[in-house]
Structure 1
Amino acid sequence: MNYNKKVVVITGASSGIGEQSAEKFAQLHAIVILVSRNEEKLQQISSRLSKYQTTILVYACDISKKDQVDKMAKFVIEKFGSVDVLVNNAGFGIYDTVEKIKVEEMESQMSTNFFGMMYCIKAFLPKMLEKRSGHIVNVASVAGSVGIPGMASYCASKFAMLGFSESLYHELKGTGVGITVVSPIMVRTNFFDHVSFGKMPRYSSTSLDPKTVANAIIKASSSPRLEIVVPQFVRFVIWLKQTLPYIINPIIGGIFRRSLKSKI
């Protein structure tokens, strides 16, 4: 796909996967709209990406707030008419048991990770359908297919994202608009900086560089597939879990329960 002058909106663009994805699209001379709550950080990234001689715009927005998303989308649509690629990347996790986590913390994860995605899709999809082109990339996680002790709310938000995306994937057949989910394993970003992760080891030997996930997002933005798992071999683990749950679930559960106990 030729991304020159294509309009790309990226949420959660102030760090990690979102920041790296913005740079990849900028390198391809796309028009990139950086969306995040942290305007100062977005401005810094915008200045850094200016070397690619393409249009970079900054819009401070809390995507968990529908009114803010609507204003952001209105600004983008009035300026460009529509978007070619929407990357729903914003999200965060809190590590704690269902017994101990606050209801407000559970709600906040769903509000950003799931409802924020939904607000953005609802805001941009009509114009995509009108012009019969465009692609939505939802950044989920392998935690959207595997329940992890201590991450129930986060997993719920990503399970919801995957189910929503699959339903929408079928609805969009023949419209010219596509949707693809990118589901990575652990990524080396500030995701684990949240105080709830305590002294847990931040990364494993299999954790990914955010640039790797950004490359998958570029691929996903013109892919006919519903889901791209990163790295690809993890899809086999998901398949095993879904096919032989009575064998795989005890193994996965045991591994993560030990990690949870080490936190406590």
Structure 2
Amino acid sequence: MPSPALEPAIQVTGLRKSYPSKQGPQLVLDGVDLTVPAGTVTALLGPNGAGKTTAVGVLSTLLHADAGTVRVAGHDVAREGDAVRAAIGVTGQITAVDDLLTGAENLRLMADLHHLGRSAGKRRTAELLDQFGLADAAAKPVAAYSGGMKRKLDLAMTLVGSPAVVFLDEPTTGLDPRSRRTLWDEVRRLVAGGTTILLTTQYLEEADQLADSVAVLHGGRVVAQGTPDELKAVHDAGSLDDVFLALTEPPAEDLPGADTATTSPKEDVR
């Protein structure tokens, strides 16, 4: 008998999320459906303000959904938050390292938060420093690190607890090309070891290079999902840039200079 299919690492159905405002609730996610198979990279793309970071916030238990079901690493986000948090790692847009501590001290702090114990924490710290090429700088204050080194340390801190699912929210923003490619290599290594990654990025080349699947978020919904090659074929496009523009450009009547006598302006909520 064939083995049953593995449960997706991330399964989202009908996710809705809005924020209060003076004009009333501003809907950001309007029925998002998303499936991320285990051991893969899915890139979540969308224009600025499309709700990518909001989606990551809900999936990582940092925000509460208004409606819908979300399962991460086999657990319901709404009912099993502790189990979800134990199974995930999150690297946000802002590097979450302490500049006053050394690289090793940052990692040992995370090991303590994960209750690894002194000896296990020291071993895990040494492993990650070596893995990310930071061993020579382990005793230096992080304030002396370059931007690329800080980003690598940030990702290493995310991995202290050996998470099954990792959320990378625009992790290479502001990095130079060499540091960006170094981080790409680390992402590939993680996935080869079975980790699942949900990546948000503004760099479409990054999505093309790393992602097994690409999902495009627009108008509060996932308007397309598939491999980069599949999306290019469907839209007769030579690059993901062309696919992105085809899926997210406003219709002609919404562009400046359109005939406003027959169309009404649309409000951009977020």
Q: With structure 2 as the length reference, what TM-score do the two structures score?
A: 0.32
**Computing the radius of gyration over CA atoms, which structure comes out larger, 1 or 2?**
2
Greater share of residues in helix: 1
Q: With structure 1 as the length reference, what TM-score do the two structures score?
A: 0.32
Greater share of residues in strand: 2
